[in-house]
Amino acid sequence: MGRRLSRRELLKNTAAVGAAGAVPAAAWSPLVNAQGADVPASLTADAFQTLEAVVARLIPADANGPGALEAGAASYIDRALGNALADALARYRAGLAALDALAVERTGRAFAALDAAMQDTLLHEIDADSAPNAALTGFVAVVLGHTIEGTFGDPRYGGNRDFIGWNLIGYPGLRLAVAASDQRMSDLPQWTRSSAYELAMFESLDPESEFDDD
């Protein structure tokens, strides 16, 4: 069915990245432990592991390249649950715990310890109209929405690491000005890779500042 960028296209566009010289200087870096693994800020270590396992099934890696887990979507969500998505924290805690409990009940093992096929089976089951537990009703859709944000959003927010999300779908990157010939083209334009907040025009802006009401 679907198809990723051809090898030729990847090479061509990777070269363009090199030419543009954009190296993502993340303004925010995740907490990592001695092994280089993410340390969660909002969720417990167990819940975070479950979340990582879920995210990895929603937009999985394959032989052609990395997916949402590698893009840092779980760590984006964990961090956002401490600020912009704070309203969803209770939902995540309850949902992840319920999912783990379901996995234990069905298989005797934690969700994160299951193989991909079994994880998919459980996710499909709770994504159906009649989830076995109120905490799981609609939970896949919630995590999916945030996984997309963490995979394809501006890297400034901690996801889309190494522009994995943008590479996956062939998004050419942020450009402040696009030429008439590029607008018309039926091929892929050259890629650039940078966060909006690395562009000179926006670098002084703080994306998480509040707009004052007065």
Partner 1 sequence: MATTRTDVVIVGAGGAGGIIAAELAKAGMQVVALERGPRLNTSDFAGQDELRFFQRQDTRPDVKRQPVTWRRNASERATPLGSLAYGNQAGGGTVHYGAVSWRMHEDDFQARTNTIERYGADAIPSDSSLADWPLRYADLEPFYDQAEYELGVSGKAGNLRGTRIDGGNVFEAPREREYPLPPLLVEQPSLVFDEAARDMGYHPFSTPRAILSQPYNGRAGCSYCGFCQGFGCHMGAKSSILVTKLPEADATGNFELVTGAMVHRVNSDGDRATGVSYWLPDGSDNTVEADLVILAPFIYDNTRLLLLSQTPQFPNGLANSSGHLGKHVMTHLMARLLVKFDDRRMNAYMGPSAQKHSIDDFNADNFDHSGHDFIRGSQISIGTHNLQGGPISVSTINPPPGVPRWGAEYRDFIADAFTRYASMVAQTENLAYADQAIDLDPNVKDAWGLPAPRMTYDWRRPNERARVEFMLQRMEEIGEAMGASQVWRAPLSPGRPGAHHEGGTRMGSDPAESVVNRYGQTWDISNLFVVGSSTFPTMSGFNPTLTIQALAYMTADAIVNRYRGSPGPLV
Phi, psi angle pair for 135, to nearest 5°: -65, -20
Of 104 and 178, which has the nearer Cβ to partner 1?
178
Choose the binding region for partner 1 from 36-44, 107-115, 129-137, 204-212 (rule: CB under 8 A).
Answer: 204-212
Q: Does 115 bind partner 1 (CB under 8 A)?
A: no
**How many CA atoms within 13 Å lie on the side-chain side of 155?**
24
24 versus 60: smaller Cβ distance to partner 1: 60
Other Cβ atoms within 10 Å of 133 Cβ, number: 15
User: Closest by alpha carbon to 50, among 132, 129, 135?
Assistant: 135
Q: According to CB under 8 A, which residues from 135 to 174 bind partner 1?
A: 140, 144-145, 148-149, 152-154, 156-157, 165-166, 168-172, 174
Q: Is residue 129 within the footprint of partner 1 (CB under 8 A)?
A: no
Element (H, E) at 117: helix 116-127
Q: For residue 72, give the nearest of 164, 194, 197 by alpha carbon.
A: 164
What is the C-alpha to C-alpha distance for residues 109 and 58, in angstroms, rounded to an integer?
A: 20
CB of 66 to partner 1, least distance (A): 11
Q: Which residues bind partner 1 (CB under 8 A)?
A: 1-5, 57-60, 62, 67, 84, 87, 120, 123, 127, 140, 144-145, 148-149, 152-154, 156-157, 165-166, 168-172, 174-178, 180, 182-189, 196-197, 199, 201-202, 205, 207, 211-214
